[in-house]
Amino acid sequence: MGPRPPLSLKGRALRLLSGREYSRAELERKLRPHEEEPGQLRRVLDDLQAKGFIDDQRAADSVVHRRSGKLGAMRIRQELQVKGLSDDLVRQAVANLQATEFDRARAIWERKFGAPAVDAAARAKQMRFLVSRGFSGEVVGKVLKGARETID
């Protein structure tokens, strides 16, 4: 049994898409090195998009669904932008996340720490953790203030 023939561009794209949702821009970046003739990649991606295999809205929804339990809106915005999604899609996804931002931050804080900080150093550590996850300073302040008030 000899070596398998190399995959076509369409085969490579379908293999990637079988694992998770990709934006069109992501697929272009990943498949560009395998393009053999000018325009070939564009035609393959146009065909896959027309058949519904590539959908930027689905890719955005997938990121939000996978990451919103661990990350804040700012970090998710960054991930969506890196995927090459349109500004409108990114804006819409982030706007939807804003409504649950405090509750998500509070749940993450409770899983990680569970108790209010006992001193300034511990409070700073909790703040840095939530900010590094992509939550705004305002939301972080509310979470930590709420944690203190439940003890008092």
Closest by CA position to 33, among listed 14, 9, 54, 4: 9
pLDDT (0 to 100) of residue 6 = 78
Structure-block tokens of residue 14: 């379908």
Percentage of the chain beyond pLDDT 70 is: 93
CA dist 46 and 40 (Å) reads 10
Query: 7 — alpha (psi -120 to 50), left (phi > 0) or beta?
Result: beta
Question: CA of 92: how far to CAs of 27, 50, 64, 68, 73, in Å?
Answer: 22, 23, 11, 14, 11
Q: What is the 3-state secondary structure (H, E, C) of 33-97?
A: HHCCCCCHHHHHHHHHHHCCCCCHHHHHHHHHHHHCCCCCHHHHHHHHHHCCCCHHHHHHHHHHH
**How is residue 53 annotated by DSSP?**
S
Phi, psi of 72, deg, nearest 5: -85, 170
**Sorting pLDDT into bands at 50, 70 and 90, what band is 152?**
very low
pLDDT at 60 over 80: yes
CA dist 120 and 97 (Å) reads 30
Can you tell me whether residue 35 is helix, strand or coil? coil
CA dist 57 and 53 (Å) reads 12
pLDDT digits (tens, 9 = 90+) for 62-81: 999 999 999 999 999 999 99
User: Looking up tokens 């809106």, which residue turns up?
Assistant: 73
pLDDT digits (tens, 9 = 90+) for 78-132: 999 999 999 999 999 999 898 899 999 999 999 999 889 899 999 999 999 999 9
